[in-house]
Amino acid sequence: MAELVVTHDIAAPQQQVWDVLVDWDVHDQWMLGTRATGGHGVGEPVEAFTGVGRLGFLDTMTIVVWEPPHRAVVRHTGTVVRGSGAFEVRDLGAGRSRVVWSEWVDLPFGAVGRLGWPVAKMAVAAGVRFSLRRLQRYVESGRAGAR
């Protein structure tokens, strides 16, 4: 099992950040190369296609914890990504929030996957950090409520 945890602070209230995180239809506005659709509660499905054009993969998930506006946990059920993922939105006060993005995934390719994880982890973490900076700009710009 491989673990990844990335945090990022946003100058917006917890509820506003949560609302954007769970608005699957706007994930393509801030999440690197990802389009998503999904539900809003325990047992609901979420699907995220990550890639360019038709080149990429479908990450299917089931929501297993749903605690608005604090935390959502999903079980990755696809063929490429298996394991769990979560995001938390922590209220920092004064209209600020901290997003904590976590993944616990089963690595593919056995020993080769485990050996390659340190390098892959750096790339995945960089992608998540990039996406969370885009989320910050999206939320702080006010575009989120203007759809």
Considering the entire predicted model, what is its pTM?
0.91
d(Cα 75, Cα 118) in Å, to the nearest integer? 23
Q: What is the mean pLDDT of residues 135-146?
A: 85
Check: CB of residue 131 under 8 Å from CB of residue 139: no
42-65: average pLDDT: 95
pLDDT band for position 145 (cuts 50, 70, 90): low
pLDDT at 114: 84
DSSP string, 66-127: EETTTEEEEEEESSS-EEEEEEEEEEEETTEEEEEEEEEEPPSSHHHHHHHHHHHHHHHHHH
Report phi then psi at 30, rounded to 5.
-140, -25
More confident residue, 147 or 121: 121
Tokens for 23, please give them.
Answer: 């608005």
121 pLDDT higher than 70: yes
Percent of the chain with pLDDT over 70: 98
Give the confidence band of 146 by pLDDT, cuts at 50, 70, 90: low
Cα separations in angstroms, 47 against 3, 37, 54: 21, 5, 15
- Please say if the pLDDT value at position 107 is more than 90: no
Question: Residue 30: what pLDDT?
Answer: 96
Average confidence score pLDDT of the chain: 93
pLDDT of residue 46: 98
Residue 48: Cβ-neighbour burial (10 angstroms; 0-12, 13-18, 19+): buried
For 31, other C-beta atoms within 10 Å of its C-beta total: 22
